[in-house]
Amino acid sequence: MISGKTLTAMARKWRRKATSSRGMISLLSDQVDKPFVADKGHFVVYTTDGKRFMVPLSYLDSSIFQGLFKMSEEVFGFSCNGPIRVPCDAAAMEYAVPLIGRGLAGDLEKALLNIVVPGRCTVSSTASLGPRPQVLVY
């Protein structure tokens, strides 16, 4: 029999874990005093609406980021004078990136890429995102 106290402790632990996994990617454009160098182990991309995302290096292995980079090359070419720009907006990025951290299978990642990148399937606002991430995973 699990006591109420234990349940509360477990809930706290799970909440901490969930918060830290969401924290793996951070939207920094509103934090004016943050220095413009990514934290250790991270890289930076900008979305089409100018929002800055700091992403763990391990995400470079995901099909989503490899697809986004390939499309960035096709749309913008290789830029040598500034940060990397990806051809999707912040809403699509916020939607897609937590899913990478949860370890989607390769074919699901590809399906997700079809959703987040305009031209494949336009996503212009959060309202048009449709089902929340959980729905896609299950």
Partner 1 sequence: MVSGLMNFLTACFQSRSKGYTRKGSDAAGKQDGLLWYKDLGQHINGEFSMAVVQANSLLEDQSQVESGNLSVHESGPCGTFVGVYDGHGGPETSRYINDHLFQHLKRCASEQQSMSADVIRKAFQATEDGFLSVVTKLWPLNPQIAAVGSCCLVGVICNGTLYVANLGDSRAVMGKLVGATGEVAAVQLSTEHNASIESVRQELYSNHPDDSQVVVLKHNVWRVKGIIQISRSIGDFYLKKAEFNRAPLYSKFRLREPLKRPILSAEPSISVHQLEPHDRFLIFASDGLWEHLSNQEAVDIVQKHPHSGSARALVKAALQEAAKKREMRYSDMKKIERGVRRHFHDDITVIVIFLDTNPISRASSMKSPNLSVRGGGVNLPPKAPEPNRWSIQ
CB of 114 to partner 1, least distance (A): 20
Q: Tell me which residues in 49-68 interact with partner 1 (CB under 8 A).
A: 52, 57, 60, 65-66
Q: Which position among 36, 125, 131, 134 is part of the footprint of partner 1 (CB under 8 A)? A: 36
Is the CB of 83 or the CB of 119 nearer to partner 1?
83
Task: Kindly list the distances between the CA atom of residue 53 and the CA atoms of 12, 34, 35, 78, in Å, as whole numbers in the listed order.
Answer: 27, 13, 13, 19
Residue 7, Cβ density class (10 Å: 0-12 exposed, 13-18 middle, ≥19 buried) = exposed
Our finding on whether 43 is near partner 1 (CB under 8 A) is yes
Rounded Cα distance between 93 and 40, Å, is 21
Q: Which residues pair with 42 in a beta bridge?
A: 56
Segment 70 to 109, residues that bind partner 1, using CB under 8 A: 72-73, 75-78, 80-84
- Tell whether residue 5 is a contact of partner 1 (CB under 8 A): no
Q: Are 60 and 66 in contact (CB under 8 A)?
A: yes
* Maximum CA extent, the chain: 61
Q: Is 54 helix (H, G, I), strand (E, B) or coil?
A: strand
Number of H helices, E strands in the chain: 5, 4
Can you tell me which of 13, 41, 124, 137 binds partner 1, judged by CB under 8 A?
A: 41
Beta carbon nearer to partner 1, 18 or 60:
60
For partner 1, which residue of 24, 27, 44, 129 counts as binding (CB under 8 A)? 44
Task: Catalog residues that contact partner 1 under the rule CB under 8 A.
Answer: 36-38, 40-44, 52, 57, 60, 65-66, 69, 72-73, 75-78, 80-84
